[in-house]
Amino acid sequence: MKLAISLSNHNPERWGGEIKRRVQGIHTFQHKHPINREIVTKTVEIAVTGIYPEGFGSIAHCLFGEPTLALEESEIAIALDIGSSTWLITVFNGNGAVIDRHLIEGGCGTLLSMIALALDKRNDKVSLLSKDVKHSPSLVNRGILEGSFSYGGNHLTGKNFEAEYSQCLDEWWSTRIEKFANFVTSSNYLDRAKYLVAWGGGVGMPVVDQNLASLGFVVLENPQFINAFGLKLLTEISTGV
């Protein structure tokens, strides 16, 4: 099996060579057959067609894949990528060139930790059963993804955390959107921008997408996969597929 891929990294100039050295080549792996559970051995030959700055795939998808943004060369757009660790602001033009970037610490992983900490501080009857247990951000995330806003699957200790989600979201959102606003206004990007666009896994969290839309952002469908879609496009261009 042969596989051509494009990759992205926050610092490709520094790490691109090492990443390519580790990824490119022939790799052998094993897994259990889904039916008979026997060990299956497979070999794949990987060719790395390019290593791009983080978020470049998202820009390529918006401009050249399924064009979401009608942007001339002289026009700019401001993208907000809400990930697990950061909010990444990228200013780019119609050619896909990155004009500026700014990083805000505290992505949706921080929000999950805030909710878990709020659950630690509960003192209702159910919480008293597990008062010395530290709540897990990953279980909080599962409840959000399932849409139940329920922590744990146990009828004794399971608890609804909609109130904590709402409270923590307000605090998390307000501090970071203020930093976003400070950057795009102080640099005069906001007045010049034709579009505000949002992508990244955090964009799809409840209420976050609504908050962004209310501010005029173009909120992309399947925001967590936008960079991957763009990297696939760049691979196809490189290989002529």
**Which residues form the domain of 15?**
1-53
**pLDDT for 99-149, tens place per residue?**
999 999 999 999 999 999 999 888 766 555 556 678 899 999 999 999 999
Please tell me the distance from the alpha carbon of residue 61 to that of residue 183, in angstroms, as a whole number: 25
Are 67 and 153 members of one domain? yes
Q: Of the given ranges (19-23, 101-105, 117-121, 192-196), which has the lowest mean pLDDT?
A: 117-121
Residue 136 near residue 116 (C-beta atoms within 8 A): yes
Decide which of 227 and 122 is more confident: 227
> Which residue, among 5, 220, 200, 174, has the nearest Cα to 88 in the 3D structure?
200
| pLDDT more than 70, % of the chain | 94
Residue 210 lies in a domain: yes
Residue 236 lies in a domain: no
Q: For the chain, what is the mean pLDDT?
A: 92
Domains in the chain, number:
2
pLDDT score for 93 = 96
